[in-house]
Structure 1
């Protein structure tokens, strides 16, 4: 008998995190052992990720090992995900990072809209743990991003999701032709969401939250931002860029002219942005981070400028254990 649900976890040198992740997945309320399988794709790990996963002895675990990067134009991460998605036997596939921690009701809540026939895919919330400014910043950033995605979805435009907490009908992945049809990209979750939307799949946004580790330092955060910024031009990227650009444009124009009307426009734009961030923090249960709504956009703009400089100095992007000279192609070597 095939399971109803397949949780796919790709891992690259995650021996210190995979055990907690697997145990959390295995403790789902209202899910029988034969209804759930966990597919771990160990993607060229040089630590003992596979051994730690096996030692967990969780029910329904299937371990797939990749020894060498596939000779395709796809990224290593895309190849690992594709292998896991195609190996999955469940009707519904859920995706998590190897450092994810989930609550016991996570699976039930994530899949409810698909099982009820209201959606073909569901994007959940992601928050970052680890304490400090980096975890707080990334949690606010994720809340803002998913808020924009929900708004674009409501408007009927292309939107994104986060593979850190996502589920979909396996048949939908096969219908779009998998990543081979989608093509190489370093923003595989955004590309997949756009492909689903083009085939008429309904993507819902829901509350179940997954906790993942924050970036260890600002350099790692900038490296991640370089990868995210390498995605193609789309309604999502245009909307984000245009909205953010208004803030410095109004500020510079007001400073240059001294116009009271422009200062008022700047204030309205700034407060509207802070209110949008605050609303999404409240929706995600992140009330303690509300003060950061006042600082999010200025810091996001500063980080964006930092990324532009970083790309100019070194356009290479590290992702999935490989280094890419160009977005989604031309791998150099494992770092």
Structure 2
């Protein structure tokens, strides 16, 4: 891909488009990766149908399923920011992305990732109230409260991440336009910036603490209370079932927050392109693929709703 550039007043070439290198270092695996990611995307689209089923079946109009429906829709939106573009690159080998397209992709990725972080915290709070405060659950998690929590999760991080995207792309980019990643992500973009980026790196750390570390701590606090309550259950069978559910949830939470935090907390100078891509696959594709399945605490209810819906048609 030939570098497109224009001459600035100080005779420093200014980038007018970027090139996403993606997995170009693995030419023999392009076909395999294309097929693999296509299958993953189909699975994710199928998982997102749970949101429609929950919306259509009155029997599932409960707080847990309300949040699960929001989560399923959010996951397909989140993955659609990066995966279709990655597939198009693998199919056409056109790796260019415009100076408008790159910040747009970054902004949506950050905003939706923040929404997922907040929604995971909300869902853990819902589980905490359901298990630890069952008598108060209908009063605490009333429809108005559920809608407020969901709206907060969807909208809470938007101003911060839009501002951070504007700050990142207010930098001057020159000499190279090659982003060694499969999507526009902050660490890879900062490597191309001209001049000192330490202030921008610090702002990234602060934002990650607010939108990832704080929700993660709240989730761990919720599950510590849940586990304490489970330990007091009278039957070993009930304890085993509850622990199985909690361990699955915590595994997804650790994968999502762990891979994202490692990516953004490391100094830009210590970033390895291969490691960044691997970690990014976890929090942008792998965990979203499993989340809707694992977070369906009672999948049989959703399947029963699907059967009822099919019988009506």
TM-score range, shorter chain: under 0.3
Taking structure 1 as the reference length, the TM-score comes to 0.24
Which of structures 1 and 2 has the bigger CA Rg?
2
The structure with more strand, counted as a fraction of residues:
1
Query: TM-score, normalized by length of structure 2?
Result: 0.26
Which protein, 1 or 2, shows the higher relative CO under an 8 Å CA cutoff with sep ≥ 6? Answer: 2
